[in-house]
Homo-oligomer: A and B are copies of this chain.
Amino acid sequence: MRINGREADERRPMKLAVDINKYAEGSVYIEVGDTKVICTATVEEKVPMFMKGQGKGWVTAEYSMLPRATQTRNQRESARGKLSGRTMEIQRLIGRALRSVVDLQALGERSITIDCDVLQADGGTRTTSITGAFVALAMAVNKLAVKHSLPVFPITDYLASVSVGVVGEQMLLDLNYEEDSKAKVDMNVVMTGQGQFVEIQGTGEEKPFSRQELDGMLALAEKGIREMIAQQREALGPIALKIRSGETGANI
């Protein structure tokens, strides 16, 4: 039996609240168990230097945790004067994952920055950030699409993410902090509404893992992500229908 009495293939309860910031073009408050994240999307009518003049847009992400998001207080990265490797790795992952479902050509020469700020952390902050970030992104893109009458809706598919792992002999879906810290294998999976992989990051720091364990974890992840995308679709309401795979998203 898992902590909190969950089944091995049972996610923690997830809540999504949209439009929670009066300034941002898209904003979401997402809770997965005790992990709580605010995602805001900011649209700017410019692109980074390396993208200039290509007629294409850009999507990027930043990630941070409040100092007391965790059991003991962490020093602010602004006070330390630099981002940790962990933060950089996570924000690179979020940005890369989001771009995989955006038609940058259709976006036009604009950039969207998604800020993921973790208010409270209980495992899975990067996967929760991706799942929330997608919703904030879709809202901001929708505003853009309406305002500029974009001929094609620039989001090509849904996107969500969950963690899976091996704890003891058991494969588990959606690990909380306590489970994560005991896991021998930890894997983060990002998938689309069509059931394709966007990112697989599996690590066996304490102990290598077998092909069989890999297959088992991927099956759990797929189940979890399918459920999450259903909740995203609900939260997005009519916007959901504009996403290219919107009507067929159920086939994951």
Using CB atoms and an 8 Å cutoff, list the residues of chain A in contact with chain B: 21-24, 27, 34, 38, 40, 42, 44, 62, 64, 66-73, 76-89, 91-92, 96, 99-101, 113, 115, 117, 119-120, 157, 187, 191-192, 194, 196-211, 214, 218
Residues of chain B with a CB closer than 8 A to A80's CB: 78
B82/A205 in contact, CB under 8 A: no
Q: What are 10 A-B interface contacts by the 8 Å CB criterion?
A: A24-B68, A38-B66, A64-B76, A64-B78, A78-B82, A100-B205, A194-B208, A197-B210, A197-B214, A211-B218
**Which residues does chain B contribute within 8 Å of A99, judged by CB atoms?**
205
Is there contact, CB below 8 Å, between B196 and A204? yes
| A82 CB contacts on chain B under 8 angstroms | 78, 81-82
Per a CB cutoff under 8 Å, which of B34, B202, B206 touches A199? B202
Please judge, given known A-B contacts A79-B83, A92-B89, whether A197 and B192 are in contact too, CB under 8 Å.
no
- State which of B66, B85, B115 has its C-beta within 8 Å of the C-beta of A89: B85
Least Cβ distance of A190 to chain B in Å?
A: 9
- The listed residue (B84, B91, B200) touching A201 by CB distance below 8 A is B200
* Chain B residues within an 8 Å CB radius of A76: 62, 64, 78
A191 contact set on B, CB distance < 8 A: 208
Option from B66, B192, B211 in Cβ contact (under 8 Å) with A208: B192
* Contact partners of A192 in chain B: CB under 8 A: 208
* Complex alpha-carbon distance, A83 and B83, angstroms: 9
Known A23-B71, A64-B78, A89-B89: A96·B199 in contact at CB below 8 Å: no
